[in-house]
């Protein structure tokens, strides 16, 4: 699979692919990545046919970004379509609400992203039956009967459990259900759900995909033309579209995705290894630690293990003191950015986690500096 004009080949390494992902063919005197196309409408004499008619339907800056994401989620695969959205929730909701009808049944993770319970209430208000199952040990297998759609989130946020995408997709398909995988935490460089049998890869681009904590974005990539037409129609109806500036910033950021993901994953492993030695730390989770409960399945389906480490400190007060004492880690929500962040996840009230549970997102700082900061903050936060 090569494209001589753009220099792309799906056989290249990830670093090579991300710097060229989605770029248009070179045109003399034009920039490599054209700037954002700020347009509510386009010149359109005569018959109103596409590709560009009105700004809620299509935008050339989205088109380039959609090509980039598609090349990363499904390298070399024909017929995969990608649509970008205003946020991860816009993308996830587009799949759920465009595919499900009153009387249908959907399976959601019980330990997934904290906005899913709100989505559940809305689905139920529309007469859709919602079942939930935890991510670990492929528990969804027990609740597939009669389901129309299954949403997996692996690794789960914030618990970092992992499920076997290939196994669950096969089982779901045998029951006639479609499968969507939330690929936010892993990114397309960490795992490729469509290759593992999923029908949709959905993600928040707000996290590591864009990686600088300055953009909200989401996307859906899917291989079923009819299902994707419904997702596209949903985007048009709801209007949950990204601004051209956000789309362009996202595309620009993807060029460094491999550098960031490799660095952040390697440092996350170093931080997890350091935390493992500490007696006050319990419930340490990182899918890339060989003795983690997620490791066996993660090592089969993931190519990188992500930037999030989670663990529990003995009390809420200890966790708060620890967060206070960190110098290089901002006390903030979200994850995947170049600057490390951490938070006491229980402060939101939405996740079933202990009071002292910390979700730490490892940034692009020097690993030695970050590990030293974490260990010092642990010492300083002790009574």
Ligand X SMILES: *Cc1c(COP(=O)(O)O)cnc(C)c1O
Residues that bind ligand X (CB under 6 A): 87-89, 113, 153, 157, 182, 184-185, 204, 206-207, 216, 218
Could you tell me the end-to-end alpha-carbon distance of the chain, in angstroms, rounded to an integer? 60
Q: Helices in 24-148 by DSSP H: which ranges?
A: 60-73, 88-99, 116-125
Nearer to ligand X, 202 or 274 (CB): 202
- Check: CB of residue 18 under 8 Å from CB of residue 256: yes
Smallest separation, CB 146 to ligand X (Å): 25
CB nearer to ligand X: pick between 70 and 218: 218
Strand-pair partners of 3:
8
39's tokens:
């347009």
- With respect to ligand X, which residue has the nearer C-beta, 83 or 371? 83
Q: For residues 294 and 287, is the Cβ–Cβ distance under 8 A?
A: yes
Question: Which residue, judged by CB position, is nearest to ligand X in the bound state?
Answer: 88
In the bound state with ligand X, the residue whose beta carbon lies nearer, of 215 and 272, is 215
Tell me the closest approach of the beta carbon of residue 205 to ligand X, in angstroms. 7
Q: Which is nearer to ligand X, 206 or 312 (CB)?
A: 206
C-beta closer to ligand X: residue 204 or 381:
204
Q: Which residue has the tokens 């009105």?
A: 54
- Contacts of residue 121, defined as CB under 8 A and 6 or more positions apart, other chains included, come to none
Closer of 63 and 183 to ligand X (Cβ): 183
Q: How far is the CB of 236 from ligand X (least distance, A)?
A: 19
Q: How far is the CB of 216 from ligand X (least distance, A)?
A: 5
Residue 335: CB minimum distance to ligand X, A: 7
341-344 β-sheet, strand order: 282-285, 308-312, 357-361, 341-344, 330-331
* Rounded Cα gap, residues 183 and 203, in angstroms: 5
Q: Which helix (H) or strand (E) holds 260?
A: helix 257-276
Q: State the sign of the Cα–Cα–Cα–Cα dihedral 187, 96, 55, 221.
A: positive
Task: Provide the greatest CA pair distance for the chain.
Answer: 75
Compare residues 207 and 235 and give the one whose CB is closer to ligand X.
Answer: 207
Query: Residue 192 Cβ, how far from ligand X at the closest point, in Å?
Result: 16
Cβ(42)–Cβ(250) below 8 Å: no
Three-class DSSP category at 339 = coil
| Min CB(114)–ligand X separation in Å | 8
Q: Rounded to the nearest whole angstrom, what is the least distance from the CB of residue 32 to ligand X in the complex?
A: 27
Number of neighbours of residue 28 by Cβ within 10 angstroms: 4
Instruction: Calculate the CA 322 to chain-centre distance.
Output: 27
The CB-of-86 to ligand X minimum distance in angstroms stands at: 8
- By CB neighbour count within 10 A (0-12 exposed, 13-18 middle, 19+ buried), where does 4 fall? exposed
Q: 70 vs 242, which CB is nearer to ligand X?
A: 242
Q: Which residue has the tokens 């990188």?
A: 304
Nearest to 72 by CA among 33, 151, 19: 19
């Amino acid at each position: 699979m090569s494209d001589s004009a753009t220099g792309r080949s799906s056989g290249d390494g990830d670093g090579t692919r991300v710097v060229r992902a989605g770029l248009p063919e070179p045109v003399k005197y034009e920039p490599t990545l054209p700037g954002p196309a700020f347009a509510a409408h386009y010149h359109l004499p005569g018959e109103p046919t596409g590709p560009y008619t009105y700004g809620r339907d299509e935008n050339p800056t989205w088109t380039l970004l959609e090509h980039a994401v598609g090349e990363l989620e499904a390298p070399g695969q024909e017929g995969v379509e990608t649509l970008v959205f205003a946020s991860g929730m816009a993308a996830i909701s587009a799949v759920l609400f465009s595919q499900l009808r009153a009387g249908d049944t959907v399976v959601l993770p019980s330990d997934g992203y904290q906005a899913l319970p709100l989505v559940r209430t809305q689905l139920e208000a529309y007469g859709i039956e919602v079942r939930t199952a935890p991510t670990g040990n492929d528990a969804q297998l027990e609740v597939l009967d009669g389901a129309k759609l299954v949403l997996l989130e692996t690794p789960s946020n914030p618990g970092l459990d992992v499920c076997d995408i290939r196994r669950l997709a096969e089982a779901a398909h045998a029951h006639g259900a479609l499968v969507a995988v939330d690929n936010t935490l892993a990114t397309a460089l960490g795992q490729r759900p469509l290759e593992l049998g999923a029908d949709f890869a959905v993600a928040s681009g707000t996290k590591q995909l864009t990686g600088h904590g300055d953009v909200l974005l989401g996307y859906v990539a899917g291989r079923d033309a009819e299902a994707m037409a419904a997702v596209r129609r949903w985007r048009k109806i709801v209007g949950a579209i990204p601004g051209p500036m956000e789309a362009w910033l996202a595309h620009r950021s993807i060029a460094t995705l491999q550098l960031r993901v490799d660095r952040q994953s390697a440092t996350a492993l170093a931080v997890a290894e350091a935390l493992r030695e500490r007696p006050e730390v319990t419930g340490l989770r990182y899918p890339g630690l060989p003795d983690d409960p997620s490791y066996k399945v993660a090592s089969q389906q993931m190519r990188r293990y992500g930037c999030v480490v989670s663990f529990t400190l003995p009390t809420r007060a200890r966790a708060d003191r620890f967060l206070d004492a960190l110098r290089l880690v901002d006390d903030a929500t979200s994850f995947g950015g170049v600057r490390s962040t951490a938070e006491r996840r229980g402060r939101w009230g939405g996740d079933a986690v202990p009071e002292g549970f910390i979700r730490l997102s490892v940034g692009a700082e020097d690993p030695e500096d970050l590990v030293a900061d974490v260990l010092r903050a642990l010492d300083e936060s002790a009574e």
